[in-house]
Structure 1
């Protein structure tokens, strides 16, 4: 796979000075859990990035539940972790895929071309009894020369245009589970349903257990998506859409964007319709 590395590959790279490992473990129901468990045990040399304090900015009126962080602050955190555009970076979470994929997408957005997700995550790593550590690594501060890739992010205005003009050359993919897409159940956001015209491709169907499905399987998942169309993926807050974004790229789709604000941003505008 192009953006996914297996644990055996990483095991052989643990002592390489050009490799940086990023622990992205997080729990929406227990926000402190990821950091707490990182302090107890993590992959050797791994630094920690928290979804809410590092990969998001505080919630405001618009922007969704996990808005993009201030890029100057995020880049400063990368530099303090010894991460620049020349390092090989690999991110992991528990194995659920969403949080590591969010970090992966953010580095892609900054123009980093050598960033990956660890297949199987922390769970797969410890199941093999591979080494873990309690030591908190300290790296020499570096300088990250970024190149924003605006074509990777969809704005609210762009999504509105797709909906209002019913553009045939663009497709919206809702990454949430079917019950939330249909508006049958909504445990998190204030309104239920989906952005008008969106099709449903639940993100969890791209994984089997804690591992990403093969490229062939990903292509089959998206067999009804025309490759020449521009794809905009979203979820509730731009987190679980990230593994769908990753799966689409693995399947060979090139024109893919992430709507970071996602459904929680969409419904923050009273005038926006819901299907």
Structure 2
């Protein structure tokens, strides 16, 4: 079973097995229908499409960010409808260097499903390896839907989170380090293409999620990731790191990279910057 990364060749060897469930999560934050169009045009055979705006987000209130985290019960219900069982190997891929795949990896691990892997290099790597392609739509079969009783989940979340009140309290009395995964110019407050306020949470460090990838769009070697994160965090243990981005998606890329590097136990702030700036009373740092 694969719990972090899987290559196109390894996925091809497993694709026909009934215990392998593949999710296509390609997405574009500027064009919310782009992922669905790309999926219909061509996808890994048997893959099911998940939409980050609808399937994977709770309703927005204007105060809970751009991609509110659903409850574990809601996510479990969705996964049951997709045919997930506790014994399955899940593989997730996108075309954005694992940006959206790492979010779904985290969500399923948070749910309590351990055997989740990201296709390293994503859709581009699959095509480069000459992997087969299927077009159109696919829905879970009746046999998959009948298997829902086999999805057994722990009662407690398997991946830790923090809420906005904890992040606010941490500014005055730091007990954890916030790591912002957005691009440096967004962190510095020079530009803000997605949210109404530019800047960052006071005290947060910055590491763009792009720094986790090599020139081919694959994750850097484990030793290199470990060295880079360790140098940036300056000895702060993983359990005292909270990942943040614009809306809780990109943050999971850094969290995944740390877990891959053996730096386990860091937290996610799901609401992230888009939730933070929904209240003008919360402080903002720039530069």
Give the shorter-chain TM-score range: over 0.9
Which residue is 1:207 aligned to?
A: 213
1:236 aligns with 2:246: yes
Paired residues of 2:98 and 2:122 also in contact (CA < 8 A): yes
Q: Equivalent residue of 1:20, what SS?
A: strand
Residue 166 (structure 1) shift: 2.5
Q: Distance in 2 between matches of 1:87 and 1:73?
A: 19
Which residue is 2:164 aligned to?
A: 156
Q: Cα–Cα, structure 1 residues 3 and 258, in superposed 2: closer, same or farther, change >3 Å?
A: same
Q: Cα–Cα, structure 1 residues 120 and 95, in superposed 2: closer, same or farther, change >3 Å?
A: farther
1:258 aligns with 2:268: yes
Give unpaired runs (5+ residues) of structure 1. none
Q: Distance in 1 between matches of 2:27 and 2:97?
A: 10
- The RMSD of aligned alpha carbons is 1.7
Paired residues of 1:95 and 1:211 also in contact (CA < 8 A): no
Q: Equivalent residue of 1:212, what SS?
A: coil
Aligned pair count?
273
1:223 aligns with 2:225: no
Q: 1:165 aligns with which of 173, 182, 191?
A: 173
Residue 227 (structure 1) shift: 4.9
Residue 188 (structure 1) shift: 1.3
| 1:112-151 correspondence runs (5 A) | 112-134=113-135, 136-139=138-141, 140-141=144-145, 142-143=148-149, 144-147=151-154, 148-149=156-157, 151=159
Q: Distance in 1 between matches of 2:41 and 2:211?
A: 31
Paired residues of 1:52 and 1:66 also in contact (CA < 8 A): yes
Q: Distance in 1 between matches of 2:62 and 2:96?
A: 32
Q: Distance in 1 between matches of 2:125 and 2:177?
A: 34
Which residue is 2:18 aligned to?
A: 17
TM norm structure 2: 0.90
Give unpaired runs (5+ residues) of structure 2. none
